[in-house]
């Protein structure tokens, strides 16, 4: 009997994350209903929204139920179809989760155009991180040549594209990341002119000397004390894009986010609360532009790989603890 392997939430975290929050299950292939498609996962992925959904805190995404398959963006091959638009062998993208053989409604799937970019790039540059950086930075930040653009979690999946897109716009991108290895990666591979380690004792002094109170665009992916430090360096009518709250999401005290809103007000900054989901109708247009930069060698995908479903729980904990740089993709055999 053919079976699918999957990872479900076993219990909710109290403070930190550990692999035993998850459980591996094996289930028989269910029969396919009309308009359904059976898939084989080629790649799945790790993302901060998974951490949010482990907890019951109110957010824009609903918490996972205990026993629910952990949602994730996947790239899959169609192996059986009862949907007229899909045939075996096609490669599709969808939020299908940590499982080897998902069953999906055709409406949940996006066909992948491999002429634009290889399948894995549909999880990185042409997937959620690339599209988020594209719309948040180019649509709302609109950096101009020589503008100072500051991005937090600069060596992460979204931050890795934001720096490159800011550099393509001719701006001076300043990244903030945890530790020298990530700062080095941000400068070397992610388009940042400079990268600052927020754990350094003189971080605030470094930020002041690098930006001089002239930050024109601030793409904030983490919030908390790091965002507070950037607020002190905003220029007049700066654009602040609230895109992620990793520090609060990963904290036992999520209510303690930033305190320095005074500087936002003093500098008449615009705050935009960003959601990539609001731009779904424009994803094709963004993918065309991102793919053109990829093909021209002007954009790097910065993918990090983990192999095998069974290694996901530990990899997820390492991810939350900041051990990866770039988009983390799990390749299933
Ligand atoms: N609004 C939207 O539509 C949208 C879409 C996609 C993503 N997002 C959000 O954007 C943010 C970045 O997403 P991503 O996929 O690119 O993830 P990511 O930045 O790759 O996330 C992992 C990184 O977060 C950093 N981090 C973890 N805990 C932290 C803490 N307490 N303080 C500061 N940094 C911490 C670590 O980097 P360091 O080692 O450098 O600290 C870690 O490597 C997330 O908050 C995500 O929810 C929003």
Question: pLDDT digit string (tens) for 11-57?
Answer: 999 878 999 999 999 999 999 999 999 999 999 999 999 999 999 87
Q: Which of 124, 177, 221, 254 to mutate to test the pocket of ligand 1 (most atoms within 8 A of CB)?
A: 221
User: Is the CB of 244 within 6 Å of ligand 1?
Assistant: yes
Specify the pLDDT at position 251.
Answer: 79
Q: Which element (helix H / strand E) includes 12?
A: none
Cα first-last separation, the chain: 19
The full DSSP string for 193-248 is SEEEETTSTTHHHHHHHHHTT-EEEEEESS-HHHHHHHHTTEEEEEEEEE---HHH
Ligand 1 mean position to 247 CA, how many Å?
8
Q: How confident is the model at residue 259 (pLDDT cuts 50, 70, 90)?
A: confident
Q: Closest residue (by CA) to atom 42 of ligand 1?
A: 322
- Our answer on whether the CB atom of 247 is closer than 6 Å to any ligand 1 atom is yes
Alpha carbon of 271 to ligand 1 centroid (Å): 19
**Rounded average pLDDT over 172-186:** 98
Can you say how many angstroms the Cα of residue 220 is from the centroid of all Cα atoms in its chain?
Answer: 13
Q: Rounded to the nearest whole angstrom, what is the distance from the C-alpha of residue 183 to the centroid of ligand 1?
A: 15
pLDDT at 193: 98
- Phi–psi pair at 161, nearest 5 degrees: -85, -35
Nearest to 165 by CA among 197, 135, 124: 135
Question: Is any ligand 1 atom within 6 A of the Cβ of residue 221?
Answer: yes
């Amino acid at each position: 009997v053919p079976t699918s392997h999957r990872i479900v939430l076993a219990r909710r975290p109290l403070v930190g994350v550990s692999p035993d929050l998850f459980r591996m299950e094996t289930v028989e292939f269910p029969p396919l209903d009309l308009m359904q498609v059976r898939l084989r996962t080629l790649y799945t992925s790790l993302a901060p929204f998974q951490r949010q959904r482990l907890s019951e805190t109110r957010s824009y995404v609903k918490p996972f139920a205990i026993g629910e398959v952990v949602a994730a963006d996947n790239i899959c091959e169609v192996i059986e179809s009862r949907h007229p638009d899909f045939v075996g062998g096609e490669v599709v993208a969808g939020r299908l989760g940590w499982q080897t053989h998902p069953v999906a409604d055709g409406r949940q799937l996006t066909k992948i155009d491999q002429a634009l970019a290889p399948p894995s790039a549909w999880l990185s540059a042409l997937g959620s991180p690339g599209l988020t950086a594209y719309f948040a930075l180019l649509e709302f930040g609109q950096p101009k040549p020589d503008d100072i653009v500051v991005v937090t979690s600069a060596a992460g999946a979204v931050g890795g594209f934001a720096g490159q897109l800011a550099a393509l716009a001719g701006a001076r991108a300043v990244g903030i990341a945890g530790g020298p290895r990530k700062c080095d990666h941000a400068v070397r591979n992610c388009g940042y002119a400079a990268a600052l380690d927020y754990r350094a004792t003189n971080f605030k002094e470094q930020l002041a000397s690098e930006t001089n109170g002239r930050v024109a665009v601030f793409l904030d992916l983490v919030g908390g004390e790091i965002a507070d430090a950037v607020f002190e360096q905003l220029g007049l009518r700066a654009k602040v894009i609230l895109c992620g709250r990793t520090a609060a999401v990963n904290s036992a005290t999520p209510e303690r986010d930033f305190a320095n809103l005074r500087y936002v007000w003093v500098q008449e900054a615009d705050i935009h609360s960003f959601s990539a989901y609001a731009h779904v109708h424009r994803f094709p247009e963004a993918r065309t532009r991102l793919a053109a930069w990829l093909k021209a060698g002007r954009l790097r995908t910065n993918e990090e790989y983990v192999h095998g479903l069974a290694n996901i729980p530990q990899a997820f904990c390492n991810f939350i603890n900041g051990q990866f740089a770039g988009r983390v993709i799990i390749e299933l055999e």
